Structures are given as structure tokens and as C-alpha cells.
Amino acid sequence: MAKKFSRTWWGQRFIEALEAFTDTNRLGRGRSYARNGKILNYEVNEGKITAKVRGSINPYFGVYKEPQYNVSIEIKPISAQQWSKAIKQMASKASVVSKLLLNEVPDNIEACFAKDSQLLPHSSKDFKTTCSCPDYANPCKHIAGVYYLVASQLDDDPLLLFELRGLSRKQLQGELAKSPLGKVLSSAINDDTEAAIVAASSYYTKPKTVSLPKSLDLMTFWNGSQAPNMTAASPATIPAILIKKAGDFPPFWKSDSSFIEVMEEFYTRVRTKGLK
């Protein structure tokens, strides 16, 4: 299910945590809510997700007008002490620092966190959710719809994961930029050095433009400004030297008749037929 709704590994992991403890039918309705514009507004403020979701008309339960429900989602924050340890680990790995400074989540990010304070959620204990709908189950289809929308946003804004865990992107990148590796990588990423200017001189001869004559016949064009001096080829000293070189019975010739005589007769026939 996750692969169909999210294209990044961290977005998929977010949904996998949801799918591990949510009813399959509610998940299906939640995906439909996320795709079909049922979520009217959605915002993240200080790590808390709030949304307004359109409900369904159901005369059987006396619902004749489309209701709107308020949804809130909070992910268990990581303590300041745990963040300090995690940032220290992240700052020691060039692959982690470089990707985070480029707004990407490295695939080895989990190794930087303690087992009891992972960045990505793993179970229902990592979530605190409420919805104003009458459904007794939690998460309901409205909460599930917002979950999927968050996973979709994580594809484009992966540092939202840190914000949902209690650390803003500004704090994260600021702390990483203070580390020795961060300082070097930040300067490389933010380097605005202009591209090298190509020297005016060149080792190659520059082409020159020439004006063409107003009229030019084909013979003059193909022969150049002056027709080449064509001299007649002198006749061969020994005609058919390649044929005669091997003699009357060369190694490849298996006939009892002379190879030279056969070839003379053959060329005579070709010449006569050509003249006709």
C-alpha cells in the first residue's frame, strides 16, 4: 500500500507504521479521502498537524448534510537530550550531513538515533490523534486520510519529519552547520564562485568568411576555381597482370583448361555484350 501512495523510502516507512495498527477498511477509505479532495485544509504548526476533513452524508444515521470534522495528529516528540545525542552522531557522518543539508533523508539515518527514540514512527504508541467524528475507532478514516496526505508531503519536504519530532529544520541545519564536517559541506554547497572564463586566445585557426560570387555554375563549383589538369592514364605494360601472375593453373583452379584462356574468353564476352 505504501509504495502506491509515496515514492520515497521515508514516506513509505511512515505509512507502514500506520498500516501496522489500522484496520484495512479504514485505510482504504483514508486513501480515498486523501486523493479525492476530502481534506479541506491542512497545516503543521509547532510539530502538530491539524486538518478539517469532509465527512459523508448518510441518511441511515440521520446525516443529511455533509459534515466537517476536525482532525489533529501529534507524533511523540524526541527529548532535547536525545536530540543532542542524535545530532552528535549525525554530524560525525559526511553522508548524513551532506544529504540533510540538501533536504534529503539518508537511508542510514536510523543508526544515528537510540532504539527508544527513532526518527520514523514504528507503532501506535508514536502517535496521539483525535477526530471530532462519531467513529469510536482511532485512527478513523478521517485521521487515516490525513496520515496519507502527510506521507505525500514528506516526499517533497522530508525535513518535516524532524519538525514533527520536535526539532525545526532551522535548528537541525544550524546545528549540523556548526560541526567541522558541516562547515566544509555548507561552504561547498553555498559556493557561488563564478565559472572559469575561457581565454580569448585559441590554439585552433579561426574560420574566415569569404564572399561568394553572384553566379556559379555546377562545373566551376565541383572543379574549384580552376579545373584540375586531367592527364590520360598510360596503358598497362602487361595487360591483365593480376590474372596472368598466377599462371595457367593457379592453386585454386581445379579445371583442366587454362585459367588465363578462360578469363580472356570471359572478358571478351563481357566487352562484346557491353558494346551491344
The 10s digit of each residue's pLDDT in 224-276 is 655 555 566 666 666 777 777 777 888 788 777 888 888 888 888 888 877 76
What are the residues whose beta carbons fall under 8 Å from the beta carbon of 232, sequence distance 6 or more? Answer: none
pLDDT score for 3: 42
Cell numbers given for 5: 501512495
What are the residues whose beta carbons fall under 8 Å from the beta carbon of 98, sequence distance 6 or more? Answer: 185
Q: Are 34 and 149 in contact (CB under 8 A)?
A: yes
pLDDT score for 122: 77
DSSP string, 28-64: HHHHHHHHTT-EEEEEEETTEEEEEEE---BGGGTB-
Is residue 23 over pLDDT 70? yes
Q: How confident is the model at residue 36 (pLDDT cuts 50, 70, 90)?
A: confident
pLDDT score for 235: 64
Q: What is the C-alpha separation between 75 and 125, in angstroms, rounded?
A: 9
Mean pLDDT of the chain: 79
* Structural domain spans, the chain: 2-189
pLDDT score for 1: 43
Report residue 263 CA to chain centroid gap: 67
Nearest one of 93, 127, 129, 125 to 110, comparing CA atoms: 93
pLDDT one-digit tens code per residue, 38-95: 888 888 887 889 999 988 877 776 777 888 999 999 988 888 889 888 888 888 888 8
This model's pTM is above 0.85: no
Regarding predicted confidence, which is higher, 4 or 120?
120
Q: Are 142 and 53 in contact (CB under 8 A)?
A: yes
pLDDT one-digit tens code per residue, 86-105: 888 888 888 888 888 777 88
pLDDT score for 70: 94
Beta bridge partners of 70: 52
Is residue 151 over pLDDT 80? yes
Cell numbers given for 166: 520536535
DSSP string, 189-252: HT--PPPPPPPS--SSPPP---PPPS---HHHHHH-SS-----PPPPPSSTTHHHHHT-SS-TT
pLDDT score for 203: 61
Is residue 32 over pLDDT 80? yes
Cell numbers given for 97: 550531513
Is residue 210 over pLDDT 70? yes
pLDDT score for 201: 57
Q: What is the C-alpha separation between 20 and 31, in angstroms, rounded?
A: 15
Q: What is the mean pLDDT of residues 16-43?
A: 82
* Strand ranges across the sheet with 39-45: 39-45, 48-54, 68-75, 127-131
pLDDT score for 186: 66
pLDDT score for 53: 92
Q: What is the mean pLDDT of residues 142-158?
A: 87
Q: Are 154 and 160 in contact (CB under 8 A)?
A: yes
φ, ψ (nearest 5 deg) of residue 270: -65, -45
Q: Are 8 and 22 in contact (CB under 8 A)?
A: no
Q: Are 141 and 51 in contact (CB under 8 A)?
A: no
